Chains A and B, each alone.
Chain A
């Protein structure tokens, strides 16, 4: 299996521009997670989906952030408009058991490094 695929790997954009990050989970996995990693705040869960339905978006920082999962093999995280403080590495992860069981394992993608100037 190819693992979780994210694109782009690096994104540099100017403040105010729209940014779209993409994720393809491992085939057959029914949970998908979006995380943000920064030096200041560490690793934060932004939102997660189960069977393409958003379950918990309490970690989404503000209305500028939105996430969709139109089908089982694709998800997007959009920031509009982007700001310099959004600069971070964004990870997508997927899992089979999700968050319901004790033996859960999440498989992470390589991340997208976003720089907003």
Chain B
């Protein structure tokens, strides 16, 4: 079935470091891909999305490119801040199952 695999956390970085969180997926067809972020004590909120191959989603300095050839949607940010500390979820919209399928989440901790 459709699935999403994320790199295990926690990821610990110093402020202004470069961030990459890997995400790969398995799906039939061409799913839409998403990154959601969960700040402590809150629900998930959409960070960015891409709906077709080679699309780049971006928001708040974060970027991810839909790579069909490698079935990946890695999240990147050039310079992280302490306020970026959160759990990041990669997700796909599965047409076959007609629902969003989430990865396990990756916790990011940024230190001053």
Which of A's residues lie within 8 Å of B, judged by CB?
4, 42-43, 45, 48, 56, 91, 93, 99-100, 102-111
Contact = CB atoms under 8 A, between A and B. Distances in A.
B46 A42 contact: no
Contacts of A105: 46, 49
Contact of B43 (A42, A56, A109): A109
Contact of B102 (A43, A56, A99): A43
Nearest to A89: B43
Interface string B67-81: 000000000000000
A110 B44 CA distance: 8
B45 A108 contact: yes
Contacts, number: 47
Nearest to A113: B41
Contacts of A45: 99-100
24 contacts: A4-B43, A42-B102, A42-B105, A43-B44, A43-B89, A45-B100, A56-B99, A91-B43, A93-B43, A93-B44, A99-B93, A99-B99, A102-B51, A102-B93, A103-B32, A103-B49, A103-B51, A104-B32, A106-B44, A107-B45, A108-B44, A108-B45, A110-B42, A110-B43
Contacts of A106: 44, 46, 100
Contacts of A104: 32, 93, 100
Interface of B is mostly: strand
Nearest to B45: A108
B98 interface: yes
Contacts of A42: 102-105
A22 B78 CA distance: 40
Given A42-B105, A43-B89, A102 B32 contact: yes
